[in-house]
Structures are given as structure tokens and as C-alpha cells.
Amino acid sequence: MPQISVIVPVYKVEKDLTRCVDSLINQTLQDIEIILVDDGSPDECPAICDNYARQDKRIKVIHKKNGGVSAARNDGLAIAIGDWVIFCDSDDWMELDACQLLVSCGNQNSVDVVMADINRVNDGNISYVQFFDSDFITHDSKYIQSIVEAILYPSYCKNPSKNNPATGFYGGPWNKAIRRKLLMENSILFDVELLGVCDDMLFSAYVLSSCESLAYISEPIYNYMMFSASITQTHKANMVNINQRIFNAFENYLKCCNEDEQFETAYAAFVIRRFEEMLRFYFFNKKNDLELPERLKELKLVMKSEPYYSASNLVDVNILQAQHKRVAKLLKMQSANGLCTLYKFKQVRGGGTQLTQKVDVKLNIVCASLGLPIEPCMKVCA
């Protein structure tokens, strides 16, 4: 039985797949199994996977109809036999000693989960992301649950790094080695209903709420490829529906794992974060073809609905990032017009265009409602 199973969902990554798999077959810990899940990829990925399997008996390949990253990870987990499990995205790659570090730490300290740091790779530039200030081993359930709060909103991290602080990624499944027994006994899988959005965060939340012990190594073991700005700013016409799916799934999680309501304010911050993304990717995205009055009408209905309305009243605005704080205040005021002006101003400033008098007047009103002077507001919005 291999010490660890590395599960890799594969879809349309023929240019990056070799780098990923090479980083796995060359691990310093050789007692591993590598499960490549071809998720109906239409390119050369299926052939690449099969070629690797012919060369290395530790590699298993699943070919399946496209069903999304969550289903692919679940299918890989279904045939995994390692003592430990970790997930690796096929456009990323692992450091060569990653499995050795994780498994050794987990076995020596008899913990359920081992978490480590990552490198963020953006246009060839690598930056180190450190999740906590120093290494630790804990059996404290309250402390482990505080990491779930950080998954929901990173500012809730209780001991962030002073030098290379993480601004997200706490919920990633690719920097956590998990005992497979823990996943099997608690029936923990990725939620396929989330369509690959926030499913990793929910998975990690269930893992941490089920485990009794966790170790952290302040060492980067994984290289995470960032998307370009043009991709991340893509218009998402189904954002309202996506958010509702996410909230339904997380509220089911809270019903079974939030008995003393310790996640209440962190979840409210998570809702605000998703609301801000919805404003950016849908309501006020330049690629949205709907007329503005129609968008504002829909936005007003959303702002009155749950969980947005309750989140605006429950959230601790002091812990929010600047833009989330402004959005939360305007949401609490139920000011769709204020939000519209705020995002219109960001677009104008982002395009290097001179501020029009009409927008200038509206921005003054928005800044006044937020208790912010106009000049600082212009600087942070630009």
C-alpha cells in the first residue's frame, strides 16, 4: 500500500501536464501512487496520461466523460489506496520533497492533517505565501476551527505570517495531506453542485471540522499558477445562481458544524466577499449587456434577500478589506445607486479617464455616506 495518493484532475492542460506529472514521479518519497483523472479532455491530455502510465507502474489513469473538477477529484479518491491523500491541479506542480515532508510530519506526530505553504506563480514571478507565523502541532479543536474561519475570510487567521502573509488560499486542497481514513469514515467528498466554485473551501472546512489534530510546516511544497487579469475579470452571467448554490452548501455545513455559532461573523464576511465579486463579475461588469436600470432592479432584489441582508448586519466591518468594507456599508444602507457609482468610478479611474462632474458629485455622496473624505476615497478606488 503506497504511503500517499496524489490525485490530479486533468482537463485541457496539454502544455502544463508534463511539468505537473514530472514533479510527482520525481518525488523524493517514491512510495506513492499518482492518479490522473482525464475529465474528458479534448486535447492531447488523454494520450499524455496513458503514456506516463505505461512508463511508471505507480500511475493510474481514469478516462471519463467531462463532469467538472469536483467529480474528477471524487473519482480519483474512490480508487485511492494510500494512507494519505493530497490533490494537485494539473496546471500546477509540487516541490520534489513535498510528499516526503508531509508524510513524515504526519506519521511522526500522529496527526490527521498536515498543512504547508505554497508559492504563487504569476507571469513567471514566484512569491512565497506563508499561512501562519511559525510551525505548530495542535490537538485543540477550537484552534483548528479557527482555521475554518480563515478559510471563510483570511483576516480571521489568528497567527498570520509577519513577512509573507496569505491573503487567501486557506481552503486549497493542494497544500494539505489528509489521512484517507478520515475522509472515508466521515464520507467527505467534493460537492459537485458547486460547479467547481468554492468546492475546495467547503471540502477543507469539512475536513478540519472532522479532524482531531493538525500539523503545519512553514515550508512551500506547492506551486500555484495564477490566472491572468483578463481571465479573472471575465463576465459571469450566472453569478447570482452560483452564489446561491454556494450559500446553500455552506449553510448545510454550518447546520452540522457550527453548534456554538463560532463561524457566524466569519460566514457573514464570506457572504460580503461573494457579494463584492458578484458586483464586479456580473452587475457592474463592462461585458454585461443588460441595461443599467434592469441591472439595478435585479440588484435591489438581491440586496434584500438572504443571506446578503443578514450578513450586512452581522459582519464585523473592522476586519474587512477596504473594498469589502465599502460594499458592506452600502449594502447595509440598501443603496444600489451608491454601489453603482462606486463601481462606475473604479472603471473610470481604472481606464485613466478624467472624472466627469456627474460622477464626481455622486462619488462625493457615496464617500459621505461611508464617512470617507473624497481624496482618500479616490485613491483607494483608483
Rounded mean pLDDT, 165-179: 94
- C-alpha cell of 156? 480571521
Count Cα atoms within 13 angstroms, Cβ side, for 316. Answer: 10
- C-alpha cell of 275? 457579494
Residues 296, 302, 304, 307, Cα dihedral to 10°: -150
Rounded mean pLDDT, 344-364: 53
Rounded mean pLDDT, 274-295: 93
Identify the weakest region by mean pLDDT among 118-122, 186-190, 215-219, 339-343.
339-343
Contact 139, 213 (CB under 8 A): yes
348 compared with 236, residue with greater pLDDT: 236
| Topology of the domain covering 4-226 | Spore Coat Polysaccharide Biosynthesis Protein SpsA; Chain A (3.90.550)
Residue 367's pLDDT is 62
Backbone φ and ψ of 127, nearest 5°: -125, 135
Strand partners, 223: 93, 119
Count Cα atoms within 13 angstroms, Cβ side, for 169. Answer: 24
Average pLDDT along the chain? 90
Task: Give the predicted TM-score (pTM) of the model.
Answer: 0.90
pLDDT of residue 230 exceeding 60, the answer is: no
pLDDT of residue 208 exceeding 80, the answer is: yes
| Residue 230 amino acid letter | S
pLDDT of residue 304 exceeding 60, the answer is: yes
Residue 358's pLDDT is 54
Taking residue 347's Cβ as centre, other Cβ atoms within 10 Å add up to: 14
Residue 258's pLDDT is 83
Q: Provide the pairing of β-strand 125-129 with 84-87.
A: unpaired
Residue 353's pLDDT is 39
**pLDDT band, residue 379 (cuts 50/70/90):** very low
Question: Tens digits of per-residue pLDDT, 58-80?
Answer: 999 999 999 999 999 999 999 99
Residue 124's pLDDT is 84
246-264 as b/e: b if 16+ CB within 10 A: bbebbeebbeebbeeeebb
Identify the weakest region by mean pLDDT among 21-25, 146-150, 225-229, 290-294.
225-229
CA distance to 94, 182, 198, 282, per residue, from 185 (Å): 28, 5, 23, 40
What percentage of the chain exceeds 90 in pLDDT?
A: 80
pLDDT of residue 89 exceeding 60, the answer is: yes
380 compared with 197, residue with greater pLDDT: 197
Where along the chain do its domains lie?
4-226, 232-381
Question: Tens digits of per-residue pLDDT, 114-165?
Answer: 999 999 999 889 999 999 999 999 999 999 999 999 999 999 999 999 888 8
pLDDT of residue 381 exceeding 50, the answer is: no
The three-state secondary structure class of 220 is strand
- C-alpha cell of 3? 504511503
Contact 335, 369 (CB under 8 A): yes
**pLDDT band, residue 368 (cuts 50/70/90):** low
Question: Tens digits of per-residue pLDDT, 35-62?
Answer: 999 999 999 999 999 999 999 999 999 9
Q: Which residues contact 180 (CB under 8 A, 6 or more apart)?
A: 5, 77, 80, 81, 82, 83, 84, 85
Give, to the nearest 10 degrees, the angle between helix 336-350 and helix 292-304: 130
What percentage of the chain exceeds 70 in pLDDT?
A: 88
Report how far residue 285's alpha carbon sits from residue 351's, in angstroms, rounded to the nearest whole number.
Answer: 14
**Alpha-helix residue ranges (DSSP H) falling in the chain:** 17-25, 45-55, 69-79, 98-109, 141-152, 180-185, 199-210, 229-232, 239-257, 264-278, 292-304, 308-314, 322-332, 336-350, 357-370, 374-381
Termini Cα distance of the chain: 55
pLDDT of residue 234 exceeding 80, the answer is: no
pLDDT of residue 189 exceeding 80, the answer is: yes
1-27 as b/e: b if 16+ CB within 10 A: ebbbbbbbbbbbbbebbeebbebbeeb
